[in-house]
Amino acid sequence: MSRKPVCLVLGAGAGIGGHVGKRFAAGGYHAVLVRRSDEEGLGRLVKAIEDAGGEATGRMLNAVEDGAIEDLVIHVERDIGPIEVALFNLGAQFGNRTLEETPNKLFELGWRMTSFALFRLAKTIAPLMAKRGGGKILVTSATSAMRGNAGQHAHAAAIGGRRLLCQSLNAELSVKGIHICHIYIDAAIEAPDTLGRLLGPELFKKLLEEKGGGKDELVIPEKVAETYWHIAHQHRSAWSHEVDIRPHSEQPWWNS
Amino acid sequence: MSRKPVCLVLGAGAGIGGHVGKRFAAGGYHAVLVRRSDEEGLGRLVKAIEDAGGEATGRMLNAVEDGAIEDLVIHVERDIGPIEVALFNLGAQFGNRTLEETPNKLFELGWRMTSFALFRLAKTIAPLMAKRGGGKILVTSATSAMRGNAGQHAHAAAIGGRRLLCQSLNAELSVKGIHICHIYIDAAIEAPDTLGRLLGPELFKKLLEEKGGGKDELVIPEKVAETYWHIAHQHRSAWSHEVDIRPHSEQPWWNS
Amino acid sequence: MSRKPVCLVLGAGAGIGGHVGKRFAAGGYHAVLVRRSDEEGLGRLVKAIEDAGGEATGRMLNAVEDGAIEDLVIHVERDIGPIEVALFNLGAQFGNRTLEETPNKLFELGWRMTSFALFRLAKTIAPLMAKRGGGKILVTSATSAMRGNAGQHAHAAAIGGRRLLCQSLNAELSVKGIHICHIYIDAAIEAPDTLGRLLGPELFKKLLEEKGGGKDELVIPEKVAETYWHIAHQHRSAWSHEVDIRPHSEQPWWNS
Amino acid sequence: MSRKPVCLVLGAGAGIGGHVGKRFAAGGYHAVLVRRSDEEGLGRLVKAIEDAGGEATGRMLNAVEDGAIEDLVIHVERDIGPIEVALFNLGAQFGNRTLEETPNKLFELGWRMTSFALFRLAKTIAPLMAKRGGGKILVTSATSAMRGNAGQHAHAAAIGGRRLLCQSLNAELSVKGIHICHIYIDAAIEAPDTLGRLLGPELFKKLLEEKGGGKDELVIPEKVAETYWHIAHQHRSAWSHEVDIRPHSEQPWWNS
């Protein structure tokens, strides 16, 4: 058991998930970092946090498996401590695919990884948080939660539904002291595990050269982690439920 | 084979689905009426249309079954004729249920009946329509597609996702001549099969006495069918993609 | 006095306003057509309606003048007959202008012509309609009512405010039988008086050649007038408050 | 001249404006506090900041007067220093008024105090900020910016337009390094100068007893000021443009 409050991160890669984990560990939380693949990367993340004097635990998990999220929550609460902040950071961006290029299985997987997985997390964790008088559930989301677009059939249906699930959860849970916030990143993120994988190493490198570095034209995970931290610590008289994030150089979805 | 264009109605009960079927049959379409239960009711609907001089075919179908929608489209196109208008009228309103009262199975069923079923319909029918230069896909929706609310976890996630799916479909298909319209009914509908079943006979009767009759304070399916007819016949220079419907006596969702 | 119900059109040029006037005149209304400039064009419009067997009256009016709208309503009601349908078709599209290119006067004029003028119309006409048990106020709007954009400072502030004014009016007036509908045209309109003037004759001609004719890639006013007619005649159990319009070939504002 | 960066607050009463001023003064800014009435209250605010070791200047100003905002900006920049953060905190909540109870003058005043005044501020200050490579314009807004409602004709039209003005400004100015954020407070604020005046002392006291104190059921200005501070200091790779604020105990506008 840890003496620190727990911050659980579902989807803790080298992008927003990992940096939120680091930020909360630096701020006095025990970070429980969960991801599906790249155990080595996860190990490095845990070590980096520990080297900086923080506490962290890594877990490998396939969130879409029956019972996986439910068991995780139970084990973390029993073995490490009460989860004060849960970051749901699973996405299902499959790139642009026409209707024909979107198999039923993919459409279903998108829903299982985003909408259904958040439902299962909330169903398991909300009663525990409510019993303790409160908690925070932060959800990382994306432009496709705001409007559908060509090639986004699976993605928009999944995370558009998830956005309204966040609103439903908020309507029931905020009065129980549970702060739910839907944070949507309305631009490309400087994240090697997700965008990097989607684009491939060469294109990703080119993008970094073009928009990264001192230009700050991609969302920098380390920087956006400050906003997650802020939201998780807003006073309960002044909570935000939906927050958009994009670089200075990008037009919002409603303009582009 | 019919010489008339086909209007396929998925979810053809005694409410909007049935009345849209009647309206299109009266306007010169062959109505293919599909529902899951109440074969007798379906028979009566077909007979009513035929008695009025129209053409109709009834089909019993469980839309969530693998391949059911896909087979239906193929059979209708082969045996009856090309589908010019498809009305997706399946909903998944389970009443108000707290998170605890919403089992995983229900959450999944909601998604299967609304979001996934529309995706499967579109995937099957859009290529056929595109090859013919066009077609219409109308989707009946509800308030929970616009915002989540307490007790609406399953419903809002499902049809909120479906709304953005409609936008994704539109972004890909409108340029192929396929008109997609998301029509959301933002009030109670005078429909014995759905609202009537949800409330039970006594409450439904009471509601009818209170708001029905000459007061027109419930959405009357026969009347709203005129708007479906209008949308399906808008000139292609002036299509609507999203239309709200409520009685004069009701405040919109953003006010109530 | 006319024996026909009156349809008042504020902003009756050769685009949507004029064609809605014609459509309602053809459907049995006395069309009262009001515009600020081009008395000759107005005369031709009235004549065209009369030649087709309809009734129409033309009025020149500068809507932003103190008392002008108020007097108009009083005179029409006294001299011609009760206004059953009022179409507010005044816009204030000044083209794209940077902040620097937008003088205070222009910003104010935009507001006076759209938001304030509708407020004044509603304030004058709503009590009369309410006393008679109902009426219809249709408002033609545009993409900038949905989201601001570069160069649209004056336009978006004016008609974005007007959109919410429509919602406020609806919240108070629908229960009094007054149907208010905000119809936003989310694309270029084949209208010589407005788009034609904005672009100049050459560019407008080029645009017509590119997108008009049989391609139907501009909104054709005559066609969209059918939707105005439909909305004004929706049964009071099934009213729409907001309807979008665009050609098959255009992406909606949320995608482009 | 001050050596500190300047934070200009238009609408610096005892609520959000005053507390944001205090927060920025505590964080190293020179707070320029501007309001229309209650010079004594303004003096107390300045003194409180100075007593806490901060820097502040108070100015009395009627923002709707011609040239008033423009002159203010010029004088502050010349006499005190470059404005790094401008908080536009003017509102125009007149309470609930039917259409009949809303005179033209009030409708106009609402627009002048909110939409037009922000336009004038942005027009004056944006070129200066752009020349310096950036700045921040924060706008306090309210529920009526999101949707109209009964009794909110003047308010919703004014601040609904202002919301889209913020989007227009952002579309032009974010690429110039100017961060614009529309922060809408979706609940009652524990502010004696505004809510207190609207309700009168007795009702306000009762409300405080019911929802204030340890219950945190009203938005506490001191607490929400932390979110303003956070937004003004977001890294330029991760800016928010729209943020909602409400207490844990309140349902969002889309649910109530």
pLDDT by residue (tens digit) across D190-215? Answer: 988 888 888 999 999 999 999 998 99
CA angle C166, C240, B161 (to 5 degrees): 100
Give pLDDT, residue D19.
98
Give pLDDT, residue A19.
98
Nearest chain A residue to B127, by CA: A100
Q: Give the confidence band of A213 by pLDDT, cuts at 50, 70, 90.
A: confident
Nearest chain A residue to B149, by CA: A168
Q: Is residue D92 over pLDDT 90? A: no
Q: Is residue A93 over pLDDT 90? A: no
Residue with tokens 């070791």: D53
Q: Please state the rounded mean pLDDT for residues B201-223.
A: 94
Residue C214 Cα, gap to closest chain D Cα (Å): 35
Chain C CB within 8 Å of residue D88 CB? no
Q: Is residue B198 over pLDDT 90? A: no
Mode of pairing for the β-strands spanning C30-35 and D6-10: unpaired
Chain B CB within 8 Å of residue A157 CB? yes
- CA–CA distance, B147 with B164 (Å, rounded to integer): 12
Cα-to-chain-centroid distance, residue A21: 10
Mode of pairing for the β-strands spanning B135-142 and D242-245: unpaired
Is C150's CB within 8 Å of A254's CB? Answer: no
Give pLDDT, residue B173.
98
What proportion of chain A, given as a percentage, has pLDDT over 90?
93
- A38 Rama class: left (phi>0) / alpha (psi -120 to 50) / beta: left
Name the strand (E) or helix (H) holding A63. none
Residues C255, B167: contact at Cβ < 8 Å? yes
Q: Please state the rounded mean pLDDT for residues D31-56.
A: 97
List CB contacts of A17: < 8 A, sequence separation 6 or more: A9, A10, A11, A33, A35, A87, A89, A140
CA distances from B221 to A49, B179, B238, B247, C155 (A): 61, 22, 25, 11, 38
Say how many CA atoms lie within 13 Å of D132 toward its Cβ: 15
- CA–CA distance, B100 with B153 (Å, rounded to integer): 10
Residue A80 Cα, gap to closest chain D Cα (Å): 28
Enter the ipTM. 0.97
Cβ-based contacts of C254 with chain A (< 8 Å): 146-147, 149, 253-254
**Per-residue b or e along A109-138, where b marks 16 or more CB atoms closer than 10 Å to that residue's CB:** bbbbbbbbbbbbbbbbbbeebbeeebbbbb
Chain D CB within 8 Å of residue C148 CB? yes
Is D161's CB within 8 Å of C158's CB? Answer: yes
List CB contacts of A9: < 8 A, sequence separation 6 or more: A17, A18, A20, A21, A31, A32, A33, A34, A87, A89
- Mean pLDDT taken over chain B: 96
- CA–CA distance, C250 with D131 (Å, rounded to integer): 38
Residues C84-121 pLDDT 10s = 999 999 998 889 999 999 999 999 999 999 999 999 99
Nearest chain D residue to B149, by CA: D255
CA angle C203, C204, C208 (to 5 degrees): 115
Give pLDDT, residue B93.
82
Q: Is residue D11 over pLDDT 90? A: yes
Chain C CB within 8 Å of residue B168 CB? no
Q: Give the confidence band of C3 by pLDDT, cuts at 50, 70, 90.
A: very high
Q: Is residue D1 over pLDDT 90? A: no
- CA–CA distance, A137 with D233 (Å, rounded to integer): 24
Give pLDDT, residue A159.
98
Is C149's CB within 8 Å of D167's CB? Answer: yes
Question: Residue C107 has which token pair?
Answer: 């910003």
Residues A188-203 pLDDT 10s = 999 888 888 889 999 9
Give pLDDT, residue A113.
98
Name the strand (E) or helix (H) holding B137. strand B135-142
Residue C149 Cα, gap to closest chain D Cα (Å): 4
Is A252's CB within 8 Å of D223's CB? Answer: no
Is C252's CB within 8 Å of B241's CB? Answer: yes
List CB contacts of B219: < 8 A, sequence separation 6 or more: B185, B187, B188, B189, B190, B245, B246, B247, C237, C238
SS3 of residue C197 by DSSP: helix
Give pLDDT, residue D198.
84
User: If you compute the radius of gyration of chain B from its CA atoms, what whole number of angstroms results?
Assistant: 17
User: B153-173 and B104-111 helices cross at what angle (nearest 10)?
Assistant: 20
Q: Give the confidence band of A1 by pLDDT, cuts at 50, 70, 90.
A: confident
> What pTM value is reported for the model?
0.98
Q: Give the confidence band of A112 by pLDDT, cuts at 50, 70, 90.
A: very high
Q: Is residue A92 over pLDDT 90? A: no
- Mean pLDDT taken over chain D: 96
Is D255's CB within 8 Å of B146's CB? Answer: no
Cβ-based contacts of A230 with chain D (< 8 Å): 226-227, 230
Nearest chain A residue to D232, by CA: A227
Q: Is residue A256 over pLDDT 90? A: no
Q: Give the confidence band of B193 by pLDDT, cuts at 50, 70, 90.
A: confident
Q: Give the confidence band of B251 by pLDDT, cuts at 50, 70, 90.
A: very high
Give pLDDT, residue B82.
98
Residue C58 Cα, gap to closest chain D Cα (Å): 27
Q: Please state the rounded mean pLDDT for residues B36-57.
A: 97
Residues C186-243 pLDDT 10s = 999 998 888 888 889 999 999 999 999 899 999 999 999 999 999 999 999 999 999 9
Lowest-confidence region among B114-123, C64-73, D185-194:
D185-194
Q: Is residue A5 over pLDDT 90? A: yes
Q: Which of C230, C248, C255 sits opposite B230 (nearest CB)?
A: C230
User: If you compute the radius of gyration of chain A from its CA atoms, what whole number of angstroms results?
Assistant: 17
Name the strand (E) or helix (H) holding D152. none
CA distances from D102 to A172, C119, C177, D108 (A): 37, 10, 21, 10
Give pLDDT, residue C70.
98
Q: Is residue C35 over pLDDT 90? A: yes
**Per-residue b or e along B129-165, where b marks 16 or more CB atoms closer than 10 Å to that residue's CB:** bbeeebbbbbbbbbbbbbbbbbbbbbbbbbbbbbbbb
Cβ-based contacts of B169 with chain C (< 8 Å): none
Name the strand (E) or helix (H) holding A6. strand A6-10
Give pLDDT, residue C193.
83
Q: Is residue C256 over pLDDT 90? A: no
